[in-house]
Amino acid sequence: MEAKTPFAKHLDTNYVPSDEELPLIRALIQQKAETLAVLNARIKALEVERDAEQSFVQRHIALISPIKRVPDDILSSLFIAFSALRRNRYEPWPTGHPAVILSHVCSHWRQLALGTPVLWSTLKVYIPPLPSPVGHPMGLVHMSSLIQRTVESEATHSWEKQVDRLLRLSRVWIGRSKDCFLTIDFLAADISPSAPDSTISTISSIIGVICDASWRWKWASLYLPSRTPINSLALGRLYDLKPADIPSLCDLALSQSTPFFGSSAPISPPDTGILGGGAIRTLSFTFQSFPTLNTLPIKWAQLTKLVFDGNTGLYYHHHAQGGYGGVQFNCASALGLMRRCPQLAHCDISFGHHAYDLHAAIESVTLPYLQFLCFRLYIPGKHFISSLHLPALQALSFRSFHDSSMRTAGPHSSRLVVWLQTYGQQITDVEFNVETLSQSSLYACMDLLTNLTSLRLDHNGNTSRTPPGPPWDAANEAVTPAKLDGDFLHRLTPRDDSGNTGVEVPVWCPRLETIRFPKEFGSVTFSEVELAKFIAGRRLDRNGKGLREVIAVLGTLKGQLDVKGHLDEMGVDLNGVGIKVFYASPFLVRPPSPMRYPETDYDHLYTE
């Protein structure tokens, strides 16, 4: 209630008080200011009393918290489950490690976490590169000698501290994991010849700690520099691991960096004894300096999952040996590689930048257990397809982000169409790049996917600023890339046939459950209304299990229509379906880099 005042009619106006009125106004202000001070003091006292009562209640609620009554064995199982859910190689280590987070909750949880060895079974060791200007030969050319020495000393000291810390953490992690199987995530860049001898020794000690437990390795991801004298001095034990040293290793990812220091010298292939592990069933590998496949000790016949990057390895190795023209991992090489692995269930192959197709069919390769097949950067043609027999294939993925050779004028010359003519009726999961297709080729592909349940569409994004080059397989004929527009959605949407006597085109993918549109902005042109109609049609259709997941990226800022709210108003049952609609954001959370972040990453976009 507002206090009465003789100046009520003048409040909130431009009225100017007279000299006689000023003392009265000041007296009113003083009176109310004193009252206000008393009220504020009472409020502050009440806030203190409220906070004390609230603290009392919260602390007693915590005292009877159900989690305190959970037996240690169950609590430990929850810790392990939490740790499995939080596996992310990009989170800070060790502060972001689940075991560290859990051990900082309370003393009881800390003791339980320390007594659960499997929580400490994941070791991530990234050897930091010697920082510029010390690690870069041109880093200090514009500095005075005094400043140069000072900066070098500070940078070197900071680097030494990081490496020393890694050594301590490695010992702690290995010790706390007891006899559990280990997951090793190791990365080391090319080591500078200017690195201090003491730090080289520390790096060697880190390698020693890790390799002493190699008999417990179960999963390992190793990113190693090429074997130069300075790298061998620090990382020698990793290079020299033999199959007998890794009896339990079943999943190995091995890759090698291009040398920076002394790169003009000939590069010797690294020792590859670790590739011969007797228990390895999953193998991912790539090299810049690469021996021929025949020289590798890999037990190909026992592999069930293979990820092979042939994009740069063989080409670089040939030039390093003084060759001309380069050696390419092409379609014949891929068939030869697949022939070695009859037990494969999962195969992921990257071709070279200038891969070429087979000129004729060769001896057939049969992979009776292969369920997932992925080709990157290149799509093999009809002779490759006719040389391959995959009776159990369920999923096809063509992640050809840099390959414009597939954009052909019509469906008859599209390699993707040929693949789907062969396997379209048996696969349930497919992924391909829409930007590499013409509209007729895209529609021909969709016509062939009769049993599909999961569809993922990729795109190179909005490339309107850069005119596309001529297709490699067409006679310089300009072809417009396929569009994901309203008509595309209409053909995916079941129609109500009641009262309709016209002839309708059969709906694409009648069993579709999951669809992910490209995450690049500018790749779709349909509207929110058209998207809502598509979802509604799929949810109302009773021919299949119904749509369960939709992810769409619209190339505009958030519009007026709330897709999920609009579907609710239409009475569409959204129980059990996940809908994510992303919009362009004025501020990117982080750059969308497929080279750095997982291919399923949509975090750089703004969502509803």
Write the DSSP assignment of 177-189 as a string of letters.
Answer: TTT--EEEEEEEP
pLDDT score recorded for residue 427: 97
Buried-state track 225-261, b at ≥16 Cβ within 10 A, e below 16: bbbbebbbebbeebbebebebbeebbbbbbbbbebbb
Q: Are 542 and 510 in contact (CB under 8 A)?
A: no
165 CA to centre of own chain:
28
Structure tokens at 210: 């890790």
Neighbours of 525 (CB within 10 A): 14
Residues 6+ apart with CB under 8 A from 431: 374, 396, 397, 398, 399, 455, 456, 457, 458
Residues in the chain: 608
Q: What is the DSSP letter of 481?
A: B
Task: Say what the alpha-carbon torsion angle 459, 465, 471, 477 is, to the nearest 10 degrees.
Answer: 120
Q: Which SS3 state, helix, strand or coil, does residue 283 take?
A: strand
Structure tokens at 131: 């920082």
pLDDT score recorded for residue 269: 45
pLDDT score recorded for residue 145: 65
pLDDT score recorded for residue 357: 79
Neighbours of 27 (CB within 10 A): 10
Residue 288, CA distances (Å) to 111, 133, 252, 295, 433 in order: 45, 26, 18, 16, 27
- Which residues of the chain have a pLDDT value below 50? 134-141, 263-270, 289, 313-326, 402-405, 409, 461-477, 499-503, 544, 589-600, 604, 606
pLDDT score recorded for residue 265: 40
Q: Is the dihedral of CA 592, 594, 595, 596 positive or negative?
A: positive
Helix 145-176, helix 197-212: angle, nearest 10? 20
- Greatest Cα-to-Cα distance within the chain, rounded to the nearest angstrom: 111
Neighbours of 163 (CB within 10 A): 22
Q: Which SS3 state, helix, strand or coil, does residue 281 take?
A: coil
